[in-house]
Structure 1
Amino acid sequence: MPSNKTELAARLDAVQSGDSVRGLFFKSVLSLVQQHAGLAGLETVRADALTAAYSDLLTYPARDFLTLLYRAADVLELSVGPEAAVFHACGERDVARFSTGPGMLIFGIISRGDPQKLFAGVQMGYSAAVSYGSRDYVPTGPTSGTLHMRRDMLPPAYHEGILTGALKVLNLRGTARATPRGIDSADYAIQWD
């Protein structure tokens, strides 16, 4: 079943002028597409308006990144699963890539392997990746917390992938469950072992 284009249109409407995403996230999603769908799938996803080459540290329009995610969901449905599974996989892949590049400071020095410290610095991490939105983390126990995201139009399943992927980077297992509050806001309950 193709990705939800009505939802994509609503998310694109929530994008403001100047909202941008680092190129390394585009490259990471494209790498996932090529891994699962080959060059033909990659060409399908890159068709039309998307830039031919991305630089890791440069930023590109958030509208293009949203379009890329939904195109990836269409192409990867047979190999990865429904759109939520694709978005989750993209989020996990993106945070793994981020943690070895611009996010090394946050994952290695600031968090020192402690998820509470990592999530407490989540606004700084996201600010290194995107130009929009706000994030506020509140611990709810020794191995849990809630992340409040506002003015972030990416699908909740994508952020669930980022958050569970961040735990994997720290060699922990856990979950992140979204409670949507609107097309561009959600609360994420995070727990880990």
Structure 2
Amino acid sequence: MGDDTGSSHSLGSEEELRRRLTYVTPADTTRGIFLNSVLEVVRQLGDEATVRHCLDESGETRFVALFNYPVSTLLRMSYAGARRLSNDSRNFEEVMRQMGYLSARSFATTSMGQIMLRQILGQPRRLLENLPAAYRMTTNVGTCKVRWTGHTSAVILITRDILPYPYMEGSLQGTFEVTAIRGLTVRAHPLESLDTEYELSWG
């Protein structure tokens, strides 16, 4: 399987990770809650030795939920965990989806997430209207744009989608679930460089 950066390197390979890191700048940051979510998935699916391996890759000993950390740290740590946890029953992509899924559910427990949750609970249109703002609150990498394609369907364009697309697929699934919107189907369509379109339908 190819990756979503326009190269022939397989998703999860060291070559693919290095290529992805070339798109990252020192100014690109994300919240510590997402790094903690990676560690939680690693802890649930693996063991403390794998958690320590991920922390060694990150160069940190702990993460404060709402502090900003380099996106490159999240990339290296998530790849380290997903590789270690890949086996015959779950591949790299599935572990990445679980990391993204838990990240969305974890964000919903923060003060920012709770405020947004009260505004959009059970309302898919409000959810998608607020999604670009939530994206800006959690990372300064790229942009998030929403285009409606029907009453219960839309396309989300993420530019400079630094993490591989299964992570965002899981994140969108988790976001819809915590806002009590059922039946989401999401399909990624990688574009040039790191841009990705996510085709959504629900209900």
Please give the range of the TM-score, normalised by the shorter of the 2 chains. Answer: over 0.9
Residue of structure 2 in register with 1:52 after alignment: 61
Within 2, Cα distance between the matches of 1:100 and 1:90? 16
Give structure 1 regions of 4+ aligned residues with deviation exceeding 6 angstroms: none
Per residue, is there more strand in 1 or in 2?
A: 1
* TM-score (norm: length of structure 1): 0.93
Aligned equivalent of 1:10? 19
2:150 to 141, 163, 169: 141
The answer on whether the counterparts of 1:93 and 1:165 sit within 8 Å (CA) in structure 2 is yes
The answer to whether the 8 A contact 1:36-1:79 is kept is no
Structure 1, unaligned stretches of length 5 or more?
A: none
2:118 corresponds to 1:108: yes
For residues 159 and 82 of structure 1, the distance between their equivalents in structure 2, rounded to whole angstroms, comes to: 16
* 1:67-86 matches, cutoff 5 A: 67-78=76-87, 81-86=90-95
Kindly state the Cα deviation for residue 183 of structure 1 after the two structures are TM-superposed: 3.4
TM, length-normalised to structure 2: 0.89
- Give the C-alpha shift of residue 106 in structure 1: 2.1
Superposition RMSD in Å: 1.8
1:134-176 per-position Cα deviation (integer Å, ceiling 9, x unaligned): 1110111111100011122111111111111111112312121
- How much has 1:118 moved relative to structure 2? 0.8
- 2:121 match: secondary structure: coil
Aligned twin of 2:179: 170
Matched, 1:190 2:163: no
Question: Distance in 2 between the 1:191 and 1:131 partners?
Answer: 27
Please say if residues 2 and 74 of structure 1, whose CA atoms lie closer than 8 Å, have aligned partners that are also in contact.
no
Question: Percent of pairs identical after alignment?
Answer: 27
Give the Å deviation of 1:80.
6.5
TM-aligned CA deviation for residue 107 of structure 1: 2.3
Task: Kindly state the Cα deviation for residue 83 of structure 1 after the two structures are TM-superposed.
Answer: 1.1
